[in-house]
Amino acid sequence: MKPGLVSIVGAGPGDPELIAVKALRRLQQADVILYDRLVSPQLLEEASSSSRRIYCGKAPGRHAMSQEQINALLVRFASQGLAVVRLKGGDPLVFGRGGEEALELARHGIPWELVPGVTSASGAAAAEGIPLTHRGVSASFACVSGTRASADSPEPRWDLLAHGVDTLVVYMGISRLEAIAAELLRHGKPAGTPAAIVERATTAGSRTLVGTLAGLPALAASAGAANPALIVIGEVVLIRERLQALSAQLESTAG
């Protein structure tokens, strides 16, 4: 039997309307959908009523199934000639393990494709009015994981990240925020650097906490900040404040 195509699809940062047209078509044509924890339930409603839907999400410390099990299911369903969609929040190649799954499919001779999505960094920042780059303020940005794959995995080079880029976006860093801030401060990042936490970005439940690098851990603790969330560190955070001030001024004038 000719194997089916596996589409490794990015669903975007949360708002179901941010999915790409190609990704939506693949979802509507799928026989089987393996979806992650942060995929909007509204997106799944776009799938065919006859499609089989399998949850394989991973919350911190609670995995519905291992990566090896997910890989095996992708191979098994595609080997049956089925159209398979692996649906992931954000972009599948930005901390999404899409590359690992593509390699596994390739090793088994399964046809695959990667359909990009709006990654959480740009989606969250844009939704909250924080430009990752801004002329005269930020000419570069970096995305970094706040957690390690295992205890043996090396830490990110916080010494380089403290000075090598203008804007820093930390994924999966809430549980280690105090340690991350301490590392950046230890390597000379100014304590007063503007910083923000964006929770549940692009959804109706979104919330943004704004402070400084030194004060962000205490702010997060007092506000009960929780995943899913991104941490944005850099002067661009102040652009959001300026935009909000201008909007408030316009509203006041109009009123």
Instruction: Tell me how many degrees the CA angle 17-20-26 measures, rounded to the nearest 5.
Output: 110
Catalytic residue numbers, as ranges: 36, 58, 172
Phi-psi region of 232 (alpha: psi -120 to 50; beta: other; left: phi over 0): beta
Main-chain dihedrals φ then ψ at residue 115, nearest 5 degrees: -110, 105
Phi-psi region of 95 (alpha: psi -120 to 50; beta: other; left: phi over 0): left
In three-state form (DSSP H/G/I as H, E/B as E, the rest C), the secondary structure along the chain is CCCCCEEEEECECCCHHHCCHHHHHHHHHCCEEEECCCCCHHHHCCCCCCCEEEECCEECCEECCCHHHHHHHHHHHHHCCCCEEEEECECCCCCCCHHHHHHHHHHCCCCEEEECCCCHHHHHHHHCCCCCCECCCECCEEEEECCCCCCCCCCCCHHHHHHHCCEEEEECCHHHHHHHHHHHHHCCCCCCCEEEEEECCCCCCCEEEEEECCCHHHHHHHHCCCCCEEEEECCCHHHHHHHHHHHHHHHHHHC
